[in-house]
């Protein structure tokens, strides 16, 4: 079964969220879909997929592992973790979809069969920096989510640093949490905890924004919330700094969406840096790699909770692995996007009481609705991401915020 074509589609049914879907075709008429959406790098990824196409068209689509290794090593001068692992993920997911369809079985059956009847989810309420209101609105949203059947939610309660010391506020900056901002974060979480009660599961995401001192102060101030985890308290590039945070707080920690492949996770797990990990199936190296990372975490008695803030193919792929993973916590989702997913895929996921239930459909168990994908096609440049922050072009053509 030879690969005959690879086609990326950038579709943006929700403003500011361009999803990259990848269709892999074969000479036996079986087609698979993958995803490697990244809201800041759409143009780069589509260009990379064009290079991948040159490498693997003509190869046997059944040889998933060999193709994984081929892409990883062909581009390893770039470091296979990150950009390259995003590209691998899209192809790997599509090839598993093809294999499942060829064998007439869901992917979770090919991975050893289910270890659970359903995959529990966690979802989000708005972050502090969103424009959806203050703590009262967040508390109301949290209660509505609980009443809709979800048992766990995550939020980012930290205001962005402002004032004369704030600097550029670009993605590379390390932010400081002022005492005022920590107080506002505690108010945010107190309001949510008050609405959902003492036993509801809550997580906080710091989005890798803060310096070590801010992260430690914030974690201590939020200790009484009884968090399941504090996510990415500092930037991810310095594990020694993360160890300093870990040794000075009593809140469980989680990292992973900015870590890729088994080699990134090897050190994290062996040095016991965190209590949970959250690889993203569309970034870490696909279904093959998420499965391996989950097994490595199992050895360390650490649960995984696949990160997922992307399109429906990514959720479908992560779900297949979660069905077979004994050391699962929950799979991430944004339940407010499910109405859009219903337009994009067929059939829609069987979501009940905060969980996704499996089907017996082969492969990923879903098909992309290409009419909807085509309706929302956008150019694969970076403008979609910048538009989120109302970016404008200055006189020299440089994007400014």
Of 205 and 384, nearer to Mg ion (C-beta) is 205
Provide, rounded to whole angstroms, the least separation between the CB of residue 233 and Mg ion: 11
Provide, rounded to whole angstroms, the least separation between the CB of residue 94 and Mg ion: 25
Provide, rounded to whole angstroms, the least separation between the CB of residue 232 and Mg ion: 6
Which residue stretch of 13-21, 53-61, 174-182, 199-207 sits at the interface with Mg ion (rule: CB under 5 A)? 199-207
Using CB under 5 A as the binding rule, whether residue 205 contacts Mg ion is answered as yes
Of 205 and 308, nearer to Mg ion (C-beta) is 205
Q: Is residue 235 exposed (0-12), middle (13-18) or buried (19+ Cβ within 10 Å)?
A: buried
SS (H, E, C) 128-179: CCCCCCCHHHHHHHHHHHHHCCCCEEEECCCCCCCCCCCCCCCCCCCECCCH
Using CB under 5 A as the binding rule, whether residue 92 contacts Mg ion is answered as no
Q: Label the pairing between strands 152-155 and 119-124.
A: parallel
Which residue stretch of 96-104, 203-211, 215-223, 331-339 sits at the interface with Mg ion (rule: CB under 5 A)? 203-211
Long-range contacts of 142-147 (CB under 8 A, 24+ apart): 142/192, 142/195, 142/196, 142/200, 143/195, 143/196, 145/335, 146/195, 146/196, 146/200
Which residue stretch of 87-95, 197-205, 235-243, 388-396 sits at the interface with Mg ion (rule: CB under 5 A)? 197-205
What is the distance between the alpha carbons of residues 281 and 316, in angstroms, rounded to a whole number?
A: 10
Provide, rounded to whole angstroms, the least separation between the CB of residue 213 and Mg ion: 21
Residue count, binding to Mg ion (CB under 5 A) = 1
Provide, rounded to whole angstroms, the least separation between the CB of residue 144 and Mg ion: 22
Q: Are 209 and 158 in contact (CB under 8 A)?
A: yes
CA 293 and chain centroid, separation: 15
What is the distance between the alpha carbons of residues 97 and 288, in angstroms, rounded to a whole number?
A: 12
Of 207 and 220, nearer to Mg ion (C-beta) is 207
Provide, rounded to whole angstroms, the least separation between the CB of residue 229 and Mg ion: 10
Provide, rounded to whole angstroms, the least separation between the CB of residue 207 and Mg ion: 6
Using CB under 5 A as the binding rule, whether residue 97 contacts Mg ion is answered as no
Provide, rounded to whole angstroms, the least separation between the CB of residue 142 and Mg ion: 18
Of 97 and 205, nearer to Mg ion (C-beta) is 205
Using CB under 5 A as the binding rule, whether residue 308 contacts Mg ion is answered as no
SS (H, E, C) 94-141: HHHHHHHHHHCCEHHHHCCCCCCCCEEEEEECCCCCCCCCCHHHHHHH
Provide, rounded to whole angstroms, the least separation between the CB of residue 205 and Mg ion: 4
Pick from 327, 328, 321: nearest CA to 358: 321
What is the distance between the alpha carbons of residues 281 and 76, in angstroms, rounded to a whole number?
A: 20
Enumerate residues 6+ apart whose C-beta is below 8 A from 61: 1, 2, 3, 24, 26, 30, 32, 95, 98, 99
Which residue stretch of 137-145, 201-209, 214-222, 344-352 sits at the interface with Mg ion (rule: CB under 5 A)? 201-209
Of 9 and 229, nearer to Mg ion (C-beta) is 229
Residue with smallest beta-carbon separation from Mg ion? 205
Of 278 and 345, nearer to Mg ion (C-beta) is 278
Of 201 and 205, nearer to Mg ion (C-beta) is 205
Of 16 and 347, nearer to Mg ion (C-beta) is 16
Using CB under 5 A as the binding rule, whether residue 38 contacts Mg ion is answered as no
Q: Assign 222 to helix, strand or coil.
A: coil
What does the binding site for Mg ion look like in residue numbers (CB under 5 A)? 205
């Amino acid at each position: 079964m030879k690969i005959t074509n690879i086609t990326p589609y950038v579709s943006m049914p929700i403003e500011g969220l361009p999803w990259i879907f990848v269709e892999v075709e074969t000479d036996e008429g079986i087609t698979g879909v993958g995803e490697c959406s990244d809201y800041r790098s759409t143009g780069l990824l589509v260009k990379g997929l064009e290079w991948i196409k040159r490498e693997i068209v003509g190869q046997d689509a059944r040889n998933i592992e060999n193709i994984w290794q081929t892409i990883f090593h062909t581009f390893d001068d770039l470091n296979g973790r990150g950009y390259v692992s995003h590209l691998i993920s899209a192809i790997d997911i599509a090839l598993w979809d093809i294999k499942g369809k060829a064998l007439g079985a869901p992917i979770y059956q090919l991975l050893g069969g289910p270890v659970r009847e359903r995959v529990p989810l966690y979802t989000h309420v708005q972050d502090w920096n969103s424009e959806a209101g203050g703590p009262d609105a967040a508390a109301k949203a949290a209660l509505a989510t609980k009443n809709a059947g979800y048992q766990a939610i995550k939020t980012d309660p930290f205001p962005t640093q402002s004032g004369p010391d704030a600097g550029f506020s670009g993605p590379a900056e390390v932010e400081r949490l002022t005492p005022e901002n920590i107080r506002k974060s505690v108010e945010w979480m107190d309001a949510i905890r008050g609405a959902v009660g003492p036993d509801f599961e809550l997580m906080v995401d710091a989005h890798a924004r803060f310096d070590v001192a801010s992260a430690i102060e914030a974690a201590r101030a939020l200790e009484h919330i009884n968090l399941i985890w504090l996510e990415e308290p500092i930037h991810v590039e310095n594990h020694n700094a993360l160890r300093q945070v870990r040794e000075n707080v009593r809140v469980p920690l989680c990292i992973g969406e900015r870590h890729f492949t088994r080699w990134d996770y090897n050190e994290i797990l062996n040095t016991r840096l965190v209590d949970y990990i959250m690889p993203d199936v569309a970034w870490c190296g696909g279904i093959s790699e998420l499965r391996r990372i989950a097994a490595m975490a199992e050895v360390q008695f650490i649960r995984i909770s696949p990160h997922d803030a992307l399109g429906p193919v990514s959720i479908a792929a992560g779900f297949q692995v979660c069905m077979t993973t004994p050391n699962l916590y929950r799979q991430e989702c944004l339940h407010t996007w499910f109405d859009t997913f219903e337009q994009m895929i067929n059939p829609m996921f069987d979501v009940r009481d905060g969980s996704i239930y499996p089907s017996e459909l082969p492969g990923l168990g879903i098909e992309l609705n290409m009419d909807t994908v085509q309706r929302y096609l956008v150019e694969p440049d970076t403008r979609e991401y910048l538009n989120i922050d109302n970016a404008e072009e200055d006189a020299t053509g440089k994007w400014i915020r």
